[in-house]
Structure 1
């Protein structure tokens, strides 16, 4: 779950596999009309995707596309051709998504940008207007002709195998306010003052602290050096009020002792190397020191 990048900054669990960002339904309609969008947990399980239409197996980026209420994307010409081959006596509930078998027509009480865009698209053809409960058109708006041949199976029931996927629903939306006003009682306020001060807390999304991941490199694999720097800088950040911080001080003291010990050992080793072959420090060459030759018996 994350926050989308559109100005509304909505909390969503939908994830664009192509651009690797969290997207809400407004983002799907405006900025990601042909992208493969599924839940973030599904992307964590398998990040591989194939940007093709499941009906004709051609790429989605070349022709006009439509996104169903289950967020699966197809060529509009393929959906229209599939709907025309279904008998007119078929109940609206029998029109389903070729991929997950969820209802093709969005419920009348569903209010969402994806559902509204889908209803506008379906309202342009007579076979879909009947399922939406709208009167038929005298002159039907036909989808644009394509240069390639659309390969759609004659039998809709045998077009694809049924995939075990569940319908994904949009999570709740947080408030769009970027500032939060909280009334805080000040213990040091004078007795004559009757007003309660207001403290405005600014949002943190513009922070440039390197300790936090930004959207640009959020999903990039990090090296061991970056993890070490993040761990090291975490000990020197300001300690929040009310949180136990004796553990952090103990770690700092231990690290300081280790550094001092390492420096002393290093200097001792370097000094031994420098004075190892110095004749001035040889006791046999010093006239003030007499060394007796002791004979072993």
Structure 2
């Protein structure tokens, strides 16, 4: 039992994001522990598996198992087993199966775990997967959703996105003259939207916003995370935390110094009292009186 508990502690880690969540998932490419929020927002195409598996074998392949091409070149989808594939490759892989295939027959090409996430699974990775699978009819059957009247294949969608309409030089000149008087540049933050389909058929949408990673105070890097902290470093961190809390608590710094001075005076007073009591306790001790010691002879 103690071996299992120890193995469980080794398998867990702390994510580097501001949420600082405990997780057992590990990004093989960046070599950091990642929570499900970071898997969805910051590592959507990375190879992610358990930290214990990385300890056993750190070799990985950043390529799609179905087409042997790099994962980063196309849109990807991650299953609940955390294996990631090109969405177009996974869609073709599922379409090649017979139409009479049961939902349990759609399995991961790598580990043979079911593609469809369980209905009672609460996970951000599962929510993204449900949103992706809801766009194709072969997956909507497994999710218990009604079929779509018109279905667009991933290849056609990519072709439409990559298509750029041709414009004549005259149109460009007119547009340039029109926009030269008032040009406004609007930069939007990347927002990733996911929806989750409930049993009633309604879709609840979730918005995961890309959060800029902020390093908290006292952040330890991997190089010195196990290094023993000295007293001076601890005192320096305490002073830094005091200065950071100054703007939130006005007037707290003088009171803190006042309490520190009072504590120092009380400590000195207690030391003086104990020294006096120690001297009084040994003042009348006959063992320390040379006249009472028979081995000491005093000449008359």
Return the TM-score normalized by structure 1: 0.52
Partner of 2:17: 6
The alignment status of 1:108 with 2:115, answered yes or no, reads no
The verdict on how the C-alpha distance between 1:8 and 1:236 changes in structure 2, with shifts beyond 3 A counting, is closer
The verdict on how the C-alpha distance between 1:37 and 1:53 changes in structure 2, with shifts beyond 3 A counting, is same
Aligned with residue 52 of structure 2, among 35, 41, 44: 41
Alignment of 1:188-267 (within 5 A): 206-207=217-218, 213-215=220-222, 217=223
The verdict on how the C-alpha distance between 1:97 and 1:143 changes in structure 2, with shifts beyond 3 A counting, is same
**CA deviation profile, 1:2-48 (whole Å, cap 9, x unmatched):** 21122322100100011111101111110000000011111112212
Aligned with residue 139 of structure 1, among 146, 150, 157: 150
Partner of 2:36: 25
The verdict on how the C-alpha distance between 1:218 and 1:57 changes in structure 2, with shifts beyond 3 A counting, is farther
Return the TM-score normalized by structure 2: 0.51
Q: Where do 5+ consecutive residues of structure 2 fail to align?
A: 1-11, 160-214, 235-300
**CA deviation profile, 1:61-117 (whole Å, cap 9, x unmatched):** 000000000000000001100111111211101111010111110001111110000
Partner of 2:131: 120
The verdict on how the C-alpha distance between 1:78 and 1:9 changes in structure 2, with shifts beyond 3 A counting, is same
Counterpart secondary structure, 1:128: helix
User: C-alpha distance in 2, partners of 1:59/1:115?
Assistant: 23
The alignment status of 1:85 with 2:96, answered yes or no, reads yes
Contact 2:24 2:51 in 1 (8 A): yes
Partner of 2:244: none
Worse-matched range after superposition: 6-15 or 57-66: 6-15
The verdict on how the C-alpha distance between 1:142 and 1:205 changes in structure 2, with shifts beyond 3 A counting, is same
The verdict on how the C-alpha distance between 1:141 and 1:6 changes in structure 2, with shifts beyond 3 A counting, is farther
Q: Where do 5+ consecutive residues of structure 1 fail to align?
A: 148-203, 220-226, 239-297
**CA deviation profile, 1:154-195 (whole Å, cap 9, x unmatched):** xxxxxxxxxxxxxxxxxxxxxxxxxxxxxxxxxxxxxxxxxx
Aligned-pair Cα RMSD in Å:
2.6
Regions of 4+ moved over 4 Å: 233-238
Aligned residues: 167
